[in-house]
Amino acid sequence: MHQFTIMSMWKQMGTLPRIVIFILLVLSIYAIAVGIERLMVYSKAKKQSNILLGLISKLWQEGKIEESVKLSTDKKFKNSHLAKVLGAGLAEIQFQKESKAPYAETVESAKRAIERATIKSVAEFRRGLNGLATIGSTAPFIGLFGTVFGIITAFNDMAVSGSGGIATVAAGISEALVTTGAGIGVAVVAVWFFNLLLNKVEVFSGEMANASSELIDHFIKKQIGSKAVSK
Protein backbone atom coordinates (compact mmCIF):
# COMPACT_ATOMS: atom_id res chain seq x y z
CA MET A 1 0.00 0.00 0.00
CA HIS A 2 1.31 3.42 -0.99
CA GLN A 3 2.18 5.65 1.99
CA PHE A 4 1.41 9.33 1.44
CA THR A 5 4.16 10.89 3.53
CA ILE A 6 5.71 14.32 3.03
CA MET A 7 8.98 12.79 1.88
CA SER A 8 7.30 10.42 -0.58
CA MET A 9 5.23 13.24 -2.03
CA TRP A 10 8.33 15.42 -2.32
CA LYS A 11 10.15 12.66 -4.21
CA GLN A 12 7.21 12.19 -6.57
CA MET A 13 6.88 15.91 -7.32
CA GLY A 14 8.22 17.35 -10.53
CA THR A 15 10.67 20.23 -10.72
CA LEU A 16 8.06 22.96 -11.13
CA PRO A 17 5.88 21.93 -8.14
CA ARG A 18 9.04 21.81 -6.02
CA ILE A 19 9.89 25.34 -7.10
CA VAL A 20 6.36 26.42 -6.17
CA ILE A 21 6.71 24.85 -2.72
CA PHE A 22 10.02 26.65 -2.23
CA ILE A 23 8.46 29.98 -3.26
CA LEU A 24 5.57 29.44 -0.84
CA LEU A 25 8.03 28.60 1.93
CA VAL A 26 9.89 31.86 1.33
CA LEU A 27 6.61 33.80 1.30
CA SER A 28 5.49 32.20 4.56
CA ILE A 29 8.79 33.10 6.25
CA TYR A 30 8.46 36.67 4.99
CA ALA A 31 4.85 36.96 6.22
CA ILE A 32 5.68 35.64 9.68
CA ALA A 33 8.80 37.82 9.94
CA VAL A 34 6.90 40.97 8.94
CA GLY A 35 4.04 40.15 11.29
CA ILE A 36 6.29 39.60 14.31
CA GLU A 37 8.45 42.66 13.51
CA ARG A 38 5.39 44.92 13.16
CA LEU A 39 3.86 43.62 16.40
CA MET A 40 7.10 44.43 18.22
CA VAL A 41 7.16 47.94 16.73
CA TYR A 42 3.51 48.54 17.67
CA SER A 43 4.11 47.28 21.21
CA LYS A 44 7.00 49.72 21.70
CA ALA A 45 4.95 52.57 20.23
CA LYS A 46 2.03 51.88 22.56
CA LYS A 47 4.21 51.58 25.65
CA GLN A 48 6.24 54.73 24.97
CA SER A 49 3.14 56.75 24.05
CA ASN A 50 1.41 55.87 27.31
CA ILE A 51 4.45 57.04 29.28
CA LEU A 52 4.73 60.21 27.19
CA LEU A 53 1.11 61.22 27.74
CA GLY A 54 1.52 60.97 31.48
CA LEU A 55 4.52 63.29 31.42
CA ILE A 56 3.59 65.79 28.74
CA SER A 57 0.08 66.51 30.03
CA LYS A 58 1.60 68.10 33.14
CA LEU A 59 3.81 70.34 31.02
CA TRP A 60 0.80 71.46 28.96
CA GLN A 61 -1.05 72.56 32.07
CA GLU A 62 1.96 74.63 33.11
CA GLY A 63 2.32 76.18 29.66
CA LYS A 64 5.84 74.80 29.17
CA ILE A 65 5.89 74.43 25.40
CA GLU A 66 9.66 74.34 25.03
CA GLU A 67 9.95 71.58 27.64
CA SER A 68 7.16 69.68 25.90
CA VAL A 69 9.02 69.85 22.60
CA LYS A 70 12.21 68.55 24.21
CA LEU A 71 10.31 65.72 25.88
CA SER A 72 8.55 64.63 22.69
CA THR A 73 11.85 64.61 20.78
CA ASP A 74 13.69 62.63 23.45
CA LYS A 75 15.32 59.44 22.13
CA LYS A 76 13.52 57.30 24.67
CA PHE A 77 10.26 58.14 22.85
CA LYS A 78 11.61 57.62 19.32
CA ASN A 79 9.13 54.80 18.65
CA SER A 80 6.13 56.70 20.00
CA HIS A 81 3.63 57.76 17.35
CA LEU A 82 2.18 60.38 19.69
CA ALA A 83 5.62 61.86 20.28
CA LYS A 84 6.07 62.43 16.56
CA VAL A 85 2.68 64.05 16.10
CA LEU A 86 2.67 66.16 19.26
CA GLY A 87 6.30 67.10 18.78
CA ALA A 88 5.58 68.41 15.30
CA GLY A 89 2.61 70.45 16.52
CA LEU A 90 4.39 71.84 19.58
CA ALA A 91 7.51 72.72 17.60
CA GLU A 92 5.40 74.63 15.08
CA ILE A 93 3.55 76.47 17.84
CA GLN A 94 6.84 77.43 19.47
CA PHE A 95 8.28 78.61 16.15
CA GLN A 96 5.22 80.71 15.32
CA LYS A 97 5.24 82.26 18.79
CA GLU A 98 8.89 83.21 18.47
CA SER A 99 8.11 84.70 15.05
CA LYS A 100 5.23 86.62 16.64
CA ALA A 101 2.84 85.27 14.02
CA PRO A 102 -0.90 86.00 14.33
CA TYR A 103 -2.92 83.60 16.46
CA ALA A 104 -4.97 82.20 13.57
CA GLU A 105 -1.85 81.56 11.50
CA THR A 106 -0.20 79.79 14.44
CA VAL A 107 -3.15 77.41 14.81
CA GLU A 108 -3.31 76.63 11.09
CA SER A 109 0.44 76.07 10.87
CA ALA A 110 0.29 73.69 13.85
CA LYS A 111 -2.58 71.77 12.24
CA ARG A 112 -0.65 71.38 8.97
CA ALA A 113 2.47 70.21 10.83
CA ILE A 114 0.40 67.67 12.74
CA GLU A 115 -1.25 66.42 9.53
CA ARG A 116 2.13 65.91 7.88
CA ALA A 117 3.49 64.07 10.91
CA THR A 118 0.36 61.91 11.08
CA ILE A 119 0.58 60.92 7.41
CA LYS A 120 4.26 60.05 7.83
CA SER A 121 3.63 58.03 10.99
CA VAL A 122 0.76 56.07 9.42
CA ALA A 123 2.93 55.31 6.39
CA GLU A 124 5.67 54.00 8.69
CA PHE A 125 3.17 51.85 10.59
CA ARG A 126 1.80 50.41 7.33
CA ARG A 127 5.25 49.40 6.12
CA GLY A 128 5.14 45.74 5.10
CA LEU A 129 1.35 45.49 5.13
CA ASN A 130 1.06 45.76 1.35
CA GLY A 131 3.38 42.78 1.06
CA LEU A 132 1.15 40.77 3.40
CA ALA A 133 -1.92 41.73 1.38
CA THR A 134 -0.21 40.66 -1.84
CA ILE A 135 0.83 37.32 -0.35
CA GLY A 136 -2.63 36.71 1.05
CA SER A 137 -4.28 37.30 -2.33
CA THR A 138 -1.76 35.51 -4.57
CA ALA A 139 -0.49 32.55 -2.51
CA PRO A 140 -3.53 30.32 -3.29
CA PHE A 141 -3.06 30.96 -7.02
CA ILE A 142 0.65 30.17 -6.78
CA GLY A 143 -0.27 26.88 -5.11
CA LEU A 144 -2.93 26.18 -7.73
CA PHE A 145 -0.36 26.86 -10.45
CA GLY A 146 1.82 24.11 -8.98
CA THR A 147 -1.16 21.78 -8.69
CA VAL A 148 -2.12 22.18 -12.34
CA PHE A 149 1.35 21.27 -13.53
CA GLY A 150 1.54 18.47 -10.98
CA ILE A 151 -1.62 16.93 -12.39
CA ILE A 152 -0.35 17.39 -15.93
CA THR A 153 2.86 15.58 -14.96
CA ALA A 154 0.91 12.75 -13.31
CA PHE A 155 -1.25 12.14 -16.38
CA ASN A 156 1.75 12.46 -18.65
CA ASP A 157 3.62 9.80 -16.67
CA MET A 158 0.57 7.53 -16.90
CA ALA A 159 0.42 8.03 -20.66
CA VAL A 160 4.12 7.31 -21.12
CA SER A 161 4.16 4.22 -18.91
CA GLY A 162 0.88 2.90 -20.26
CA SER A 163 -0.34 2.03 -16.75
CA GLY A 164 -3.29 3.58 -15.00
CA GLY A 165 -6.06 2.88 -12.56
CA ILE A 166 -7.76 4.79 -9.80
CA ALA A 167 -4.86 4.19 -7.39
CA THR A 168 -2.32 5.70 -9.73
CA VAL A 169 -4.55 8.67 -10.52
CA ALA A 170 -5.34 9.27 -6.84
CA ALA A 171 -1.66 9.16 -5.89
CA GLY A 172 -0.69 11.67 -8.58
CA ILE A 173 -3.52 14.08 -7.81
CA SER A 174 -2.96 13.94 -4.04
CA GLU A 175 0.71 14.80 -4.53
CA ALA A 176 -0.20 17.63 -6.88
CA LEU A 177 -2.73 19.09 -4.42
CA VAL A 178 0.01 19.59 -1.85
CA THR A 179 0.94 22.91 -3.46
CA THR A 180 -2.67 24.13 -3.29
CA GLY A 181 -2.86 23.24 0.39
CA ALA A 182 0.46 24.98 1.02
CA GLY A 183 -0.73 28.08 -0.86
CA ILE A 184 -3.93 28.28 1.19
CA GLY A 185 -1.97 27.86 4.42
CA VAL A 186 0.41 30.69 3.53
CA ALA A 187 -2.52 32.91 2.54
CA VAL A 188 -4.29 32.29 5.85
CA VAL A 189 -1.20 33.33 7.83
CA ALA A 190 -0.64 36.44 5.69
CA VAL A 191 -4.29 37.56 5.82
CA TRP A 192 -4.48 36.97 9.58
CA PHE A 193 -1.41 39.12 10.19
CA PHE A 194 -2.63 41.76 7.73
CA ASN A 195 -6.01 42.18 9.42
CA LEU A 196 -4.51 42.19 12.91
CA LEU A 197 -1.89 44.79 12.02
CA LEU A 198 -4.30 46.95 10.02
CA ASN A 199 -6.65 47.13 13.01
CA LYS A 200 -3.77 48.29 15.20
CA VAL A 201 -2.79 50.95 12.66
CA GLU A 202 -6.36 52.25 12.67
CA VAL A 203 -6.28 52.42 16.47
CA PHE A 204 -3.00 54.35 16.36
CA SER A 205 -4.45 56.71 13.75
CA GLY A 206 -7.37 57.44 16.07
CA GLU A 207 -5.01 58.03 19.00
CA MET A 208 -2.94 60.48 16.96
CA ALA A 209 -6.07 62.32 15.84
CA ASN A 210 -7.37 62.58 19.42
CA ALA A 211 -4.03 63.70 20.86
CA SER A 212 -3.49 66.35 18.19
CA SER A 213 -7.05 67.59 18.64
CA GLU A 214 -6.51 67.89 22.39
CA LEU A 215 -3.31 69.83 21.78
CA ILE A 216 -4.99 72.34 19.47
CA ASP A 217 -8.01 72.67 21.78
CA HIS A 218 -5.74 73.23 24.77
CA PHE A 219 -3.82 75.93 22.91
CA ILE A 220 -7.05 77.63 21.78
CA LYS A 221 -8.55 77.59 25.30
CA LYS A 222 -5.36 78.96 26.77
CA GLN A 223 -5.28 81.74 24.19
CA ILE A 224 -8.91 82.64 24.88
CA GLY A 225 -8.24 82.57 28.61
CA SER A 226 -5.24 84.88 28.30
CA LYS A 227 -7.27 87.36 26.24
CA ALA A 228 -10.05 87.33 28.82
CA VAL A 229 -7.56 88.05 31.62
CA SER A 230 -5.93 90.90 29.67
CA LYS A 231 -9.31 92.56 29.25
Q: Which residues contact 17 (CB under 8 A, 6 or more apart)?
A: 146, 147, 149, 150, 153, 175, 176, 178, 179
Q: Which residues contact 126 (CB under 8 A, 6 or more apart)?
A: 201
Cβ-in-10-Å burial (0-12, 13-18, 19+) of 205 comes to middle
Q: Tell how far CA 160 is from the center of its chain.
A: 50
pTM to 2 decimals? 0.79
pLDDT for res 56: 78
**What would the pLDDT profile of 59-92 be if each residue is shown by its tens digit?**
766 667 677 778 877 888 888 888 888 888 888 8
Among the listed residues 129, 145, 130, 143, the one whose alpha carbon sits nearest the alpha carbon of residue 184: 143
57 compared with 190, residue with greater pLDDT: 190
